[in-house]
Structure 1
Amino acid sequence: MNRQELKVVGASAVGTAFEWYDFFLYGALVPVIGSKFFSDYGSAAQTVFALLTFAAGFVVRPIGALVFARITDRVGRKIVFLITLVLMGVSTVAVGLLPTADEIGILAPILLVTCRILQGMAVSGEFGAAVTYVSEYAPPRQRGFFLGWLTGTTALAFSLSLGVQLLVQAIVGAAAFEEWGWRVPFLISVFPLALSVWIRTKLNESPLFLRMKEGGALSKAPLREAFGSRARVRMMAIVFVMAATQSFIGYLSTVYMVTTMKTYLKADSFTVNAIFMVVMLIGFFLCVLACWVADRIGRRPVLFIGLGLAALLAFPVTGAIVSTTNPDLARAQKNVSVTIQADPAECSFQFNPAGTATFTSDCDRARNTLQTDSVTFDRQDTAGPTKVLVNGTEVSGGPRMSEDLLAALRTAGYPVGGSSDTIKISGIGDVFGGRVIGVGLLLLALVAFAQMAQGPAATAMAEVFPTRIRATALSIPYQLGVGVFGGLLPATMVAIGAELGSTTTALWYPVGAIALGLLILVFALPETKGVDLAEVRLDGDTAPDDEAAPEEPVVSQGS
């Protein structure tokens, strides 16, 4: 990169990194958030509610795309950079100042969701503006490499958010961190974000955008133009599939795995954060590497290999993570048979955001007990009273059901209350232990699959639409795909696992979706390596009156 290119990529990546840092702080603190803002519920419900609030920041992202993408295409890329940074900073600091549910009741989660909505709006505008801006500065043969430094900041920001938590926790202590220290990472984010705003004010506008503005060729209605031809609508549908598919492995390998290791596998927060901090830092460079390779062999091969490996290896890799992180739990899940026999009418779906249901039946109490200790169980519908069979030992319903059930689980071999054999980093020497390194490598494999998909996908999205509507046309389907599927993935998987009694069953949801998305993309996604962004036009697409059409279409719709 020359000096100007380095300035563009560096300033864009730094600002994007700090926006994602703010956004991911919440995801990395899900167990704490659940206990502070949803304290009236059981542990499993706390986790699901906290993840649903995390998902709220994704659900609104299509709305943010509609608002900010139009500004990006009509007014400029740079102004959106600044607006989204300020919006993200204000909403993030607000999260750090919110009272908890014990202090103000139901108003606490309502305010939390409001802050997450503002964060989702901000990050949705950031993505389209940043990808469009950097792609329009990058040389055609290095566009993937340039964008790799930008898209990789999602992994870098996740690593940074974990690192800050570890530092604060080390300074104030674990007990104080649980009590009030969790607020500090949110509050101190105002300083790097202020620096990012100052840096971005020094950037120039995209040269392609300025050329169109000077020539009077800006789109007057980007949204209408984006849906103005069958070719563009078809390409937006392809981008939607691509965004949704890569988001499945992206959020499976990050937010879901962080939450699962802390709540389901009972690994302590410090150990999980330390491992993920290193893994995600490496993931940042893997994204850059994947995009560099995509500049040489094409976007399609790298993207397809990443998605294919994710679909093929998700089950064995996650199984190995369970057995390496908590061997006692893995053995118990394999060797101990647990079955709940109950009337279906007595077994409620235990996640009730309105707070109108009470979970007091024997079936509900049995399931809550089993979920708290990560017990895999089956369900049998019967007409009689609720009972639980633990390796053939019957535990009947009644006031002492929870105590009797825990005793039966201990006798059968379940590590009730946690296991002393769970991986734990207590000192620097533990970092180099075989099991810690093993878990790190397994997690790195999932993260690598995600980065192979994420970087080339973002590059391809910028290369299939004309400059005048690029931000709008890529942002809307991207945010729909990520918002509807990626953001809801962790909460959906936890809810499926809690309802059916098996996280393995829940894993079929992302694996099946990745496989289906890959199949669609193999036949539908065009190869865009090396295209001239100033000349992009889809097959059969007619240029608007104020946009000169090239003699030959650059992007083919064929595979």
Structure 2
Amino acid sequence: MTLDPKRDRLVIVASSLGTVFEWYDFFVYGTLAALLGRMFFPSENPTAGLLLSLATFGAGFGVRPIGAMVFGVLGDRIGRKYTFLATITLMGLATALVGVLPTYAQVGIWAPVLLVGLRLLQGLALGGEYGGAAIYVAEHAPPGKRGFFTGFIQASVVGGFLLSLVVVLATVFSVGKEAFDDWGWRIPFLVSILLLAISLYIRLKLSESPVFAAMKEAGTTSSAPLREAFSAPGNLKTMIVAMIAVAAGLTVIWYTAQFQTLYFLQSTALVDETDAKLLVGVSMLIVAPLFVVFGRVSDKFGRKPVMLIGYAITLLLLFPAFHLLAKAANPQLMAAAAASPVSISGSDCRFNPFASKQTSECGQALQYLSGRGIGHTGAIDDGGALRITIGTTTVQGFDKAGIEAALATAGYPTKANPGPRNNLLIVAAITLLGLLSASTYGPVAAIMVELFPARIRYTSMSLPYHIGTGYFGGFLPLISLYIVAKSGNAFGGLWYTWIVVLAAFAVTLFWLPETKDRDISK
């Protein structure tokens, strides 16, 4: 592939902007998950509402492999260009419709049903979008620059997250917090129509990928890409390796750096929602160019070593980074938790985070502490009367006033008075996590394209990528928050990320081949 600066700029800009807009559509839901939980899943248990909202967020990821199969086949049969035009149209329309949905208060159970349906359509669309954009850019890139070219696609995913934060915050500032919670939350979803129009206008200027055009002219395109993806010698093994080593590993780091930090700041560190979004947004703005940088580094030193180093450092620094984040975001809370830990004992100490109301006093106490973001050392079911110990003070029974007084005496802050925080250190901690995400995500589009033959590339790449990202990553916020709610440990949910990254490191080390010098035209 020869260099053509004008063509290459158009390819990168059109593909990247389309990716930004498409991921904006997907992430605006994640950004507003807590509010949507209250709108569409009302409950006496705030944790249950958020968990159900996150489960709906995960549902969109759960159907991505189906979208990968549908649009992957189309991409391998009719072409890269027209397939990702179809995916962005479906995504934009589904997102805009969320903005006109009635809430639970208006139509009852139909509200969450309709919301889940639109999330499923978004997931189907996204199952075809990423593979199409990555392949299109990579097949235009000259040898030795595929990591650099496709790094813009990786940065565009972060761009979609940033754009969702910007639009949400701009709307809040424009209409006010009260109006935003009432009706203004619809605006970020409706903005999708404008983004769709811009993206279609730019993408319609593109020509077909030169690799696909050459295959079509030579008559070597696959007539059954899905069947061939599973039957071609060695291709199934490569897809499994790519799913674990690449897709699952990079995604849990990325979602931890973006969404987990956002929810952690809001629910555990008691940081105001708007402030939390601003802090995460600033951090991601710093990190975004690094995805291109690491893509370029992988062109020089190889995809595999860059990813291995990123995984290894993540395993070492994941927990320290979150402890640093907690101390920076709410030092008063961390000091109180260390000096006056909370423990619970009593009978029937079962706690279902999804239940709107707990049946026992012990369960009600656990629900209350979870909603307040107060960690505990674990509930002991000893068959006796409920006892809540906060430092040196013991509260008998589920006495809210007594619990509040004991927490206040022990120095635990409240949401109304969250205590001091170090914004600079918060940004530094989130930026560190974002750096680890960039090091593992930057080379990914290049390596996924290079792993598979051109005639079945769209299908073969999209399936493992969206299974890995959809199931391992898409349900990460839900799984992590559930672990935190059940265990009472604010950092307990990080073990999910750590274990998946460990598995990705091992599979990468032993089974993932180096691909940077491969000829992708065949």
Scaled to the shorter chain, the TM-score interval is over 0.9
Aligned-partner Cα distance in 1 for 2:119–2:108: 18
Shift of 1:418: 4.2
Secondary structure at the counterpart of residue 206 of structure 2: coil
1:139 to 121, 138, 142: 142
- 2:209 and 2:231 mapped to 1: Cα distance? 25
1:271 aligns with 2:275: yes
**Maintained 8 Å contact 2:56/2:116:** yes
Match of 1:541 in 2: none
- Output aligned runs, 1:2-17, within 5 Å: 2-17=5-20
Given that 2:93 and 2:192 are in contact with CA atoms closer than 8 Å, whether structure 1 keeps it comes out as no
Whether 1:462 and 2:449 are equivalent positions in the alignment is yes
Whether contact under 8 Å (1:160, 1:277) holds in the other structure is: no
Kept after mapping to 1: 8 A contact 2:171/2:188? yes
Instruction: Name the SS of the counterpart of 2:513 in structure 1.
Output: coil
One of 184, 187, 190 as aligned partner of 2:190: 187
1:420 Cα deviation from its structure 2 partner: 4.5
In structure 2, runs of 5+ residues without a counterpart are none
Shift of 1:31: 1.4
Within the alignment, does 1:321 sit opposite 2:328 as a pair? no
State the distance in 1 between where 2:466 and 2:485 align: 28
**CA RMSD, Structure 1 to Structure 2 (Å):** 1.4
Structure 1 residue 348: Cα displacement: 3.3
1:476 aligned residue (463, 473, 479): 463
- Counterpart of 2:220 in 1: which secondary structure? coil
Quick one: distance in 2 between partners of 1:107 and 1:459?
42
Deviation, structure 1 residue 396: 2.1
Say which SS state the counterpart of residue 388 (structure 2) adopts: strand
Q: Report 1:243-262 matches (<5 A).
A: 243-262=247-266
Structure 2 counterpart of 1:391, which letter? G
Equivalent residues of 1:77, 1:206 under 8 A apart: yes
Matched, 1:123 2:126: yes
1:526 aligns with 2:513: yes
**Equivalent residue number for residue 45 of structure 2:** 42
Query: Following the alignment from structure 1 to structure 2, what is the Cα–Cα distance between the partners of residues 171 and 362?
Result: 43
Alpha-carbon offset, residue 116 of structure 1 = 0.9
CA contact (8 A) 1:341 1:382 kept: yes
Please tell me the residue identity of whatever aligns with 2:179. Answer: A
Percent identical pairs in the alignment equals 39
Q: 1:450 aligns with which of 437, 449, 458?
A: 437
Paired residue for 1:379?
379
CA distance in 2, matches of 1:325, 1:122: 37
Q: What residue number does 2:334 align with?
A: 330
1:496 to 472, 483, 501: 483
Count of residue correspondences: 517
Q: What does residue 60 of structure 1 align with?
A: 63
For residues 129-159 of structure 1, the C-alpha deviation after alignment (integer angstroms, 9 at most, x for no partner) is 1111111111121001100011211111111
2:351 aligned partner: 348
| Counterpart among 100, 103, 112 of residue 100 in structure 1 | 103
Tell me which amino acid in the other structure corresponds to 2:106: E
Distance 1:264 1:43 in 2: 13
Amino acid at match of 2:382: T
SS in 2 for 1:55: helix
Contact 1:84 1:123 in 2 (8 A): yes
Partner residue, 2:171: 168
**Deviation, structure 1 residue 346:** 4.7
1:513 to 493, 497, 500: 500
> Is 1:390 equivalent to 2:390 in the alignment?
yes
Q: Deviations over 1:205-263 (max 9, x none)?
A: 01111111111111011111111144111111111112011111011111121122112
Matched residue SS, 2:443: helix
Counterpart AA for 1:305: I
In the other structure, the counterpart of 1:406 is 404
CA distance in 2: counterparts of 1:369 and 1:349, whole angstroms: 12
Looking at structure 2, the residues matched to 26 and 457 of structure 1 have their Cα atoms a distance apart, in angstroms, of: 25
Q: Distance in 1 between matches of 2:353 and 2:322?
A: 26
Kindly tell me: are residues 95 and 422 of structure 1, through their superposed partners in 2, closer, same or farther at Cα, counting changes over 3 Å? farther
C-alpha distance in structure 1 between counterparts of 2:441 and 2:69, whole Å: 22
The alignment status of 1:370 with 2:357, answered yes or no, reads no
Q: Deviations over 1:441-483 (max 9, x none)?
A: 1101101111111121221111011100001111101111111
Query: TM-score with structure 1 length normalisation?
Result: 0.90
Q: Which amino acid aligns with 1:393?
A: T
Aligned-partner Cα distance in 2 for 1:14–1:137:
17
SS at the partner of 1:196?
A: helix
Q: What CA distance in whole angstroms lies between the structure 1 residues aligned with 2:109 and 2:238?
A: 43
Contact 2:413–2:419 under 8 Å retained in 1: no
SS at match of 1:492: helix
- What TM-score, normalized to structure 2? 0.96
Which segments of 5 or more consecutive residues in structure 1 lack a partner in the other structure?
424-434, 536-559
SS in 2 for 1:534: coil
Q: Which runs of 4+ in 1 moved over 6 A?
A: none
